[in-house]
Amino acid sequence: MVKEMVKDTPNMSRKPLQEQVEQALAEIVREALATRQTVQVPGLGVFCIERRPALRRPAKEGGAEFIPPRNEIRFTPRT
Amino acid sequence: MNLGHEIAQRLRCSPETAAALMEEIVRDIRRKTAQGETAQLRHIGAFEARGAELVFEPDAGLAEIVNAPFAGLTAIPLADPAPIRRKTDEIPQGERPGPARGGLPSARRQTRARSRARAGWILGIVLAIVAAGAWLLLADRTRSPGAESERFFPSETSAPAPQEAPASSLQGAAPPSTALSPVETDQPASAANERIAVDTLADAAETADPLAAHPYADAPLRGAEPIDRALGGYTIVVASETNEQRAQGWAEGWRKQGFRTAVLPHAQDGVILYRVGVGQFALLEEAARVRDALMGNELPQGAWVLRI
Protein backbone atom coordinates (compact mmCIF):
# COMPACT_ATOMS: atom_id res chain seq x y z
CA MET A 1 0.00 0.00 0.00
CA VAL A 2 2.79 2.38 0.96
CA LYS A 3 4.66 1.56 -2.25
CA GLU A 4 1.59 2.52 -4.25
CA MET A 5 1.41 5.76 -2.36
CA VAL A 6 5.06 6.48 -3.07
CA LYS A 7 4.32 6.06 -6.76
CA ASP A 8 1.60 8.67 -6.40
CA THR A 9 3.96 11.04 -4.69
CA PRO A 10 6.75 11.65 -7.19
CA ASN A 11 8.60 14.30 -5.20
CA MET A 12 9.43 11.87 -2.40
CA SER A 13 12.37 9.51 -2.67
CA ARG A 14 11.43 5.97 -1.75
CA LYS A 15 14.03 4.58 0.55
CA PRO A 16 14.24 7.16 3.30
CA LEU A 17 10.51 7.86 3.17
CA GLN A 18 9.83 6.32 6.55
CA GLU A 19 12.88 8.08 8.01
CA GLN A 20 11.54 11.40 6.76
CA VAL A 21 8.20 10.77 8.42
CA GLU A 22 9.97 9.69 11.60
CA GLN A 23 12.05 12.84 11.59
CA ALA A 24 9.04 15.07 10.93
CA LEU A 25 7.21 13.30 13.75
CA ALA A 26 10.17 13.89 16.08
CA GLU A 27 10.31 17.58 15.11
CA ILE A 28 6.61 18.07 15.74
CA VAL A 29 6.70 16.28 19.10
CA ARG A 30 9.79 18.25 20.20
CA GLU A 31 8.28 21.59 19.17
CA ALA A 32 4.97 20.83 20.85
CA LEU A 33 6.49 19.60 24.12
CA ALA A 34 8.93 22.53 24.26
CA THR A 35 5.89 24.80 24.42
CA ARG A 36 4.06 22.51 26.86
CA GLN A 37 1.48 21.42 24.32
CA THR A 38 -0.04 17.95 24.33
CA VAL A 39 0.61 15.70 21.32
CA GLN A 40 -1.50 12.69 20.44
CA VAL A 41 0.12 10.07 18.23
CA PRO A 42 -2.70 7.97 16.80
CA GLY A 43 -2.39 4.32 17.75
CA LEU A 44 0.44 4.96 20.19
CA GLY A 45 -0.56 7.37 22.93
CA VAL A 46 -0.44 10.91 24.23
CA PHE A 47 2.64 12.93 25.18
CA CYS A 48 2.28 15.82 27.57
CA ILE A 49 4.32 17.91 30.00
CA GLU A 50 3.85 17.86 33.74
CA ARG A 51 5.44 20.61 35.78
CA ARG A 52 7.04 19.50 39.02
CA PRO A 53 7.38 22.40 41.44
CA ALA A 54 10.47 23.03 43.55
CA LEU A 55 10.52 20.98 46.75
CA ARG A 56 12.48 20.34 49.90
CA ARG A 57 13.23 16.72 50.63
CA PRO A 58 15.55 14.67 52.90
CA ALA A 59 18.99 14.15 51.37
CA LYS A 60 20.60 10.72 51.14
CA GLU A 61 23.66 11.93 53.05
CA GLY A 62 21.51 13.36 55.83
CA GLY A 63 19.99 16.79 56.24
CA ALA A 64 17.75 18.13 53.52
CA GLU A 65 18.06 19.46 50.00
CA PHE A 66 16.19 21.94 47.86
CA ILE A 67 15.18 20.46 44.50
CA PRO A 68 14.60 23.00 41.68
CA PRO A 69 11.42 22.84 39.59
CA ARG A 70 11.41 20.77 36.42
CA ASN A 71 9.22 19.66 33.55
CA GLU A 72 8.57 15.96 33.09
CA ILE A 73 7.48 14.29 29.88
CA ARG A 74 4.49 12.08 30.52
CA PHE A 75 3.37 9.41 28.11
CA THR A 76 -0.06 7.84 28.35
CA PRO A 77 -0.28 4.80 26.09
CA ARG A 78 -3.35 4.23 24.03
CA THR A 79 -5.38 1.47 25.63
CA MET B 1 -3.21 19.18 16.31
CA ASN B 2 -3.68 16.80 13.40
CA LEU B 3 -0.39 14.98 13.20
CA GLY B 4 -1.04 13.45 9.77
CA HIS B 5 -1.78 16.84 8.22
CA GLU B 6 1.18 18.44 9.94
CA ILE B 7 3.60 15.79 8.65
CA ALA B 8 2.06 15.95 5.19
CA GLN B 9 2.55 19.71 5.12
CA ARG B 10 6.20 19.41 6.11
CA LEU B 11 7.00 16.64 3.65
CA ARG B 12 4.79 18.04 0.91
CA CYS B 13 2.93 14.79 0.46
CA SER B 14 -0.71 13.80 0.83
CA PRO B 15 -2.14 13.43 4.35
CA GLU B 16 -3.14 9.85 3.49
CA THR B 17 0.48 8.96 2.69
CA ALA B 18 1.72 10.58 5.88
CA ALA B 19 -0.95 8.85 7.96
CA ALA B 20 -0.16 5.46 6.42
CA LEU B 21 3.57 5.85 7.04
CA MET B 22 2.98 7.01 10.58
CA GLU B 23 0.72 4.02 11.14
CA GLU B 24 3.55 1.81 9.93
CA ILE B 25 5.96 3.38 12.42
CA VAL B 26 3.48 2.88 15.26
CA ARG B 27 2.85 -0.71 14.18
CA ASP B 28 6.59 -1.32 14.18
CA ILE B 29 6.89 0.04 17.73
CA ARG B 30 3.97 -2.10 18.89
CA ARG B 31 5.45 -5.20 17.26
CA LYS B 32 8.89 -4.71 18.80
CA THR B 33 7.56 -4.05 22.30
CA ALA B 34 5.22 -7.04 22.05
CA GLN B 35 8.31 -9.19 21.36
CA GLY B 36 9.94 -7.83 24.52
CA GLU B 37 12.36 -5.59 22.63
CA THR B 38 12.94 -1.88 23.13
CA ALA B 39 11.59 0.24 20.29
CA GLN B 40 13.56 3.42 19.67
CA LEU B 41 11.92 6.48 18.12
CA ARG B 42 14.76 8.77 17.08
CA HIS B 43 15.00 12.11 18.95
CA ILE B 44 11.91 11.24 21.00
CA GLY B 45 12.77 8.26 23.19
CA ALA B 46 12.42 4.54 23.74
CA PHE B 47 9.35 2.41 24.32
CA GLU B 48 9.22 -0.93 26.08
CA ALA B 49 6.50 -3.18 27.42
CA ARG B 50 6.35 -3.69 31.16
CA GLY B 51 3.63 -6.20 31.79
CA ALA B 52 0.61 -5.08 29.83
CA GLU B 53 1.70 -1.46 29.88
CA LEU B 54 3.76 0.43 27.32
CA VAL B 55 6.43 2.48 29.09
CA PHE B 56 8.20 5.46 27.53
CA GLU B 57 11.69 6.68 28.39
CA PRO B 58 12.31 10.13 26.87
CA ASP B 59 15.43 10.96 24.91
CA ALA B 60 17.99 12.98 26.91
CA GLY B 61 17.90 15.76 24.32
CA LEU B 62 14.13 15.99 24.48
CA ALA B 63 14.23 16.13 28.30
CA GLU B 64 16.76 18.97 27.99
CA ILE B 65 14.53 20.90 25.59
CA VAL B 66 11.49 20.76 27.86
CA ASN B 67 13.65 21.77 30.82
CA ALA B 68 15.34 24.69 29.02
CA PRO B 69 13.74 27.25 31.42
CA PHE B 70 15.41 25.50 34.37
CA ALA B 71 18.77 24.85 32.70
CA GLY B 72 21.68 25.17 35.12
CA LEU B 73 19.63 24.79 38.28
CA THR B 74 20.82 22.06 40.63
CA ALA B 75 19.80 20.73 44.03
CA ILE B 76 20.99 22.80 46.99
CA PRO B 77 21.82 21.05 50.29
CA LEU B 78 20.10 22.68 53.26
CA ALA B 79 21.13 22.82 56.93
CA ASP B 80 19.89 19.86 58.98
CA PRO B 81 17.21 20.96 61.44
CA ALA B 82 17.54 19.78 65.06
CA PRO B 83 15.95 16.36 65.63
CA ILE B 84 12.73 16.20 67.59
CA ARG B 85 12.56 13.56 70.25
CA ARG B 86 9.32 11.67 70.36
CA LYS B 87 7.64 10.62 73.55
CA THR B 88 8.30 6.99 72.68
CA ASP B 89 12.07 7.54 72.17
CA GLU B 90 14.38 6.16 74.80
CA ILE B 91 15.54 8.89 77.13
CA PRO B 92 19.34 8.94 77.67
CA GLN B 93 20.59 7.96 81.09
CA GLY B 94 21.65 11.43 82.11
CA GLU B 95 18.25 12.95 81.29
CA ARG B 96 16.01 10.50 83.13
CA PRO B 97 13.30 12.21 85.16
CA GLY B 98 13.81 11.96 88.85
CA PRO B 99 15.65 13.99 91.38
CA ALA B 100 16.38 17.39 89.94
CA ARG B 101 19.61 17.72 87.99
CA GLY B 102 21.20 20.99 88.90
CA GLY B 103 18.22 21.76 91.06
CA LEU B 104 15.66 22.09 88.17
CA PRO B 105 12.39 20.23 88.44
CA SER B 106 11.62 17.62 85.75
CA ALA B 107 8.72 19.55 84.14
CA ARG B 108 10.86 22.65 83.76
CA ARG B 109 13.68 20.68 82.10
CA GLN B 110 11.23 19.21 79.64
CA THR B 111 9.92 22.67 78.82
CA ARG B 112 13.48 23.87 78.21
CA ALA B 113 14.27 20.90 76.00
CA ARG B 114 11.11 21.54 74.00
CA SER B 115 11.91 25.21 73.51
CA ARG B 116 15.47 24.26 72.43
CA ALA B 117 14.04 21.87 69.84
CA ARG B 118 11.65 24.57 68.64
CA ALA B 119 14.53 27.03 68.31
CA GLY B 120 16.41 24.42 66.26
CA TRP B 121 13.46 24.06 63.92
CA ILE B 122 13.07 27.81 63.54
CA LEU B 123 16.80 28.09 62.76
CA GLY B 124 16.49 25.34 60.17
CA ILE B 125 13.52 27.02 58.48
CA VAL B 126 15.31 30.40 58.42
CA LEU B 127 18.37 28.78 56.85
CA ALA B 128 16.16 27.06 54.27
CA ILE B 129 14.54 30.39 53.33
CA VAL B 130 17.97 32.07 53.07
CA ALA B 131 19.26 29.23 50.86
CA ALA B 132 16.16 29.42 48.64
CA GLY B 133 16.59 33.21 48.34
CA ALA B 134 20.24 32.79 47.40
CA TRP B 135 19.28 30.22 44.81
CA LEU B 136 16.67 32.53 43.28
CA LEU B 137 19.18 35.41 43.22
CA LEU B 138 21.73 33.21 41.46
CA ALA B 139 19.08 32.15 38.94
CA ASP B 140 18.20 35.82 38.28
CA ARG B 141 21.83 36.75 37.69
CA THR B 142 21.79 34.88 34.41
CA ARG B 143 19.57 37.64 32.99
CA SER B 144 21.35 40.73 31.72
CA PRO B 145 19.90 44.18 32.42
CA GLY B 146 18.27 46.26 29.71
CA ALA B 147 15.18 48.33 29.10
CA GLU B 148 14.19 48.09 25.48
CA SER B 149 11.23 45.78 25.67
CA GLU B 150 8.55 48.35 26.45
CA ARG B 151 9.59 50.64 23.66
CA PHE B 152 8.67 48.27 20.91
CA PHE B 153 5.25 47.31 22.16
CA PRO B 154 3.18 50.44 22.47
CA SER B 155 -0.38 49.83 23.56
CA GLU B 156 -1.80 51.75 20.61
CA THR B 157 -0.46 49.39 17.95
CA SER B 158 -3.15 48.33 15.57
CA ALA B 159 -4.78 44.94 15.96
CA PRO B 160 -7.89 45.00 13.86
CA ALA B 161 -7.73 41.50 12.51
CA PRO B 162 -8.39 38.23 14.29
CA GLN B 163 -5.04 36.86 15.22
CA GLU B 164 -3.51 33.92 16.96
CA ALA B 165 -2.74 33.97 20.67
CA PRO B 166 0.94 34.95 20.53
CA ALA B 167 0.33 37.75 18.08
CA SER B 168 -2.47 39.25 20.13
CA SER B 169 -0.39 39.00 23.27
CA LEU B 170 2.29 41.06 21.59
CA GLN B 171 -0.06 43.80 20.57
CA GLY B 172 -0.42 45.51 23.86
CA ALA B 173 -2.18 42.82 25.85
CA ALA B 174 -0.87 41.16 29.01
CA PRO B 175 2.03 38.75 28.52
CA PRO B 176 1.30 35.03 28.71
CA SER B 177 1.47 33.50 32.17
CA THR B 178 3.23 30.29 31.19
CA ALA B 179 6.98 29.99 31.15
CA LEU B 180 7.08 29.25 27.47
CA SER B 181 5.10 30.88 24.71
CA PRO B 182 3.80 28.94 21.73
CA VAL B 183 5.97 27.95 18.84
CA GLU B 184 4.55 28.44 15.39
CA THR B 185 4.70 25.19 13.50
CA ASP B 186 3.05 26.31 10.27
CA GLN B 187 5.32 26.67 7.32
CA PRO B 188 4.92 30.07 5.71
CA ALA B 189 4.27 29.74 2.02
CA SER B 190 7.32 31.56 0.78
CA ALA B 191 9.16 30.96 -2.41
CA ALA B 192 12.31 30.16 -0.49
CA ASN B 193 10.70 27.42 1.54
CA GLU B 194 9.06 25.94 -1.49
CA ARG B 195 12.51 25.34 -2.92
CA ILE B 196 13.33 22.98 -0.08
CA ALA B 197 12.69 19.68 -1.72
CA VAL B 198 12.00 16.40 -0.02
CA ASP B 199 15.37 15.17 -1.26
CA THR B 200 16.96 17.70 1.06
CA LEU B 201 14.92 16.25 3.89
CA ALA B 202 16.14 12.80 2.99
CA ASP B 203 19.75 13.94 3.10
CA ALA B 204 19.10 15.64 6.42
CA ALA B 205 17.62 12.48 7.87
CA GLU B 206 20.83 10.61 7.25
CA THR B 207 23.00 13.00 9.25
CA ALA B 208 22.90 13.05 13.06
CA ASP B 209 22.52 16.82 13.47
CA PRO B 210 21.73 18.35 10.09
CA LEU B 211 21.31 21.94 11.28
CA ALA B 212 24.61 22.13 13.14
CA ALA B 213 26.53 23.01 9.96
CA HIS B 214 24.48 26.13 9.18
CA PRO B 215 26.55 29.21 8.41
CA TYR B 216 24.73 31.31 11.02
CA ALA B 217 25.70 28.93 13.86
CA ASP B 218 28.46 31.30 15.07
CA ALA B 219 26.39 34.49 15.39
CA PRO B 220 22.76 33.49 15.55
CA LEU B 221 21.37 36.53 17.41
CA ARG B 222 23.48 39.58 16.58
CA GLY B 223 25.30 40.71 13.48
CA ALA B 224 24.94 42.71 10.30
CA GLU B 225 23.65 39.73 8.31
CA PRO B 226 19.86 39.74 7.95
CA ILE B 227 17.93 36.53 8.59
CA ASP B 228 18.14 34.22 5.60
CA ARG B 229 14.80 32.46 5.23
CA ALA B 230 16.20 29.99 2.75
CA LEU B 231 18.41 28.53 5.47
CA GLY B 232 15.45 27.75 7.73
CA GLY B 233 15.93 27.21 11.46
CA TYR B 234 14.16 29.14 14.22
CA THR B 235 13.73 32.81 15.11
CA ILE B 236 12.33 34.74 18.07
CA VAL B 237 9.25 36.79 17.19
CA VAL B 238 9.29 40.11 19.03
CA ALA B 239 6.39 41.87 17.29
CA SER B 240 3.47 41.14 14.95
CA GLU B 241 1.78 43.76 12.82
CA THR B 242 -0.94 43.84 10.20
CA ASN B 243 0.78 46.88 8.65
CA GLU B 244 3.97 46.04 6.76
CA GLN B 245 5.47 49.53 7.06
CA ARG B 246 5.08 49.49 10.80
CA ALA B 247 6.60 46.00 11.00
CA GLN B 248 9.56 47.23 8.94
CA GLY B 249 9.91 50.10 11.42
CA TRP B 250 10.08 47.69 14.33
CA ALA B 251 12.61 45.54 12.47
CA GLU B 252 14.76 48.59 11.77
CA GLY B 253 14.71 49.48 15.48
CA TRP B 254 15.92 46.01 16.44
CA ARG B 255 18.51 46.07 13.65
CA LYS B 256 19.94 49.33 15.03
CA GLN B 257 20.43 47.56 18.32
CA GLY B 258 22.62 45.01 16.61
CA PHE B 259 20.14 42.17 16.20
CA ARG B 260 19.77 40.11 13.06
CA THR B 261 16.19 40.73 11.95
CA ALA B 262 13.61 39.93 9.30
CA VAL B 263 9.97 40.65 8.64
CA LEU B 264 8.19 37.37 8.06
CA PRO B 265 4.78 37.65 6.43
CA HIS B 266 2.26 34.95 7.28
CA ALA B 267 -1.27 34.64 5.93
CA GLN B 268 -3.88 33.66 8.45
CA ASP B 269 -7.67 33.73 8.08
CA GLY B 270 -7.35 36.01 5.08
CA VAL B 271 -5.16 38.50 6.95
CA ILE B 272 -1.44 38.92 6.40
CA LEU B 273 0.52 39.18 9.62
CA TYR B 274 4.00 40.69 9.42
CA ARG B 275 6.08 39.11 12.14
CA VAL B 276 9.32 40.70 13.25
CA GLY B 277 11.87 38.00 14.05
CA VAL B 278 15.25 38.47 15.70
CA GLY B 279 18.06 35.94 15.46
CA GLN B 280 18.31 32.78 13.42
CA PHE B 281 19.00 29.59 15.33
CA ALA B 282 19.71 26.14 14.05
CA LEU B 283 18.04 24.42 16.99
CA LEU B 284 14.74 24.98 18.71
CA GLU B 285 16.27 24.52 22.17
CA GLU B 286 18.93 27.14 21.41
CA ALA B 287 16.28 29.68 20.39
CA ALA B 288 14.16 28.85 23.45
CA ARG B 289 17.18 29.19 25.73
CA VAL B 290 18.12 32.63 24.34
CA ARG B 291 14.50 33.74 24.48
CA ASP B 292 14.22 32.63 28.14
CA ALA B 293 17.51 34.27 29.07
CA LEU B 294 16.74 37.65 27.46
CA MET B 295 12.96 37.82 27.88
CA GLY B 296 11.94 40.76 30.06
CA ASN B 297 15.28 42.49 29.48
CA GLU B 298 16.44 42.76 25.91
CA LEU B 299 13.48 40.87 24.49
CA PRO B 300 9.83 41.63 25.29
CA GLN B 301 7.81 39.41 27.60
CA GLY B 302 5.63 38.04 24.83
CA ALA B 303 8.52 36.92 22.60
CA TRP B 304 8.00 33.47 21.13
CA VAL B 305 9.87 31.02 18.95
CA LEU B 306 8.91 30.53 15.31
CA ARG B 307 10.07 27.93 12.85
CA ILE B 308 11.32 29.84 9.80
Of A21, A26, A64, the CB nearest to B43: A26
Distance (Å) from the C-alpha of residue B54 to the closest C-alpha of chain A?
6
| Cα dist from B30 to A21, B137, B179, whole Å | 17, 47, 34
| pLDDT at B145 > cutoff 80 | no
Domains of chain A are 2-77 (4.10.520.10)
Q: Is B6 on the interface with A (CB under 8 A)?
A: yes
Of A8, A9, A73, the CB nearest to B63: A73
Q: Is A25 on the interface with B (CB under 8 A)?
A: yes
What ipTM, to 2 d.p.? Answer: 0.79
Domain with B159 in it: what CATH number?
Answer: 3.30.70.1070
Q: Is B285 on the interface with A (CB under 8 A)?
A: yes
Q: Which residues of A touch B234 (CB under 8 A)?
A: none
Domain check: are B158 and B291 in the same one? yes
Domain check: are B161 and B257 in the same one? yes
Last residue of a domain, one of B120, B142, B164: B142
Domain check: are B252 and B202 in the same one? yes
Closest CA to A44 of B76, B306, B33: B33
Domain check: are B11 and B86 in the same one? no
Distance (Å) from the C-alpha of residue B5 to the closest C-alpha of chain A?
11
Closest-CA residue of chain B to A75? B56
In terms of residue numbers, what domain contains B48? 3-58
Interface of B with A in 62-81 (CB under 8 A): 62-63, 65-70, 73-81
CA gap B15, B6 in Å, rounded: 8
**pLDDT range class, residue B211, cuts 50, 70, 90:** very low
Q: Is B1 on the interface with A (CB under 8 A)?
A: yes
| pLDDT tens figures, B277-292 | 999 988 888 888 888 8
- DSSP string over B84-101: PPPTTSPPPGGG-SSSPB
Instruction: Give me the pLDDT at residue B215, please.
Output: 57
Average pLDDT over residues A56-70: 86
Which positions ≥6 away from B32 have C-beta within 8 Å? B38, B39, B47
Does some domain include residue B285?
yes
| pLDDT at B75 > cutoff 90 | no
CA gap B213, B233 in Å, rounded: 12
Instruction: Give me the pLDDT at residue B149, please.
Output: 39
| pLDDT tens figures, A4-33 | 555 555 555 555 788 888 888 988 998 889
Query: How many domains are contained in chain B?
Result: 3
CA gap A64, B269 in Å, rounded: 54
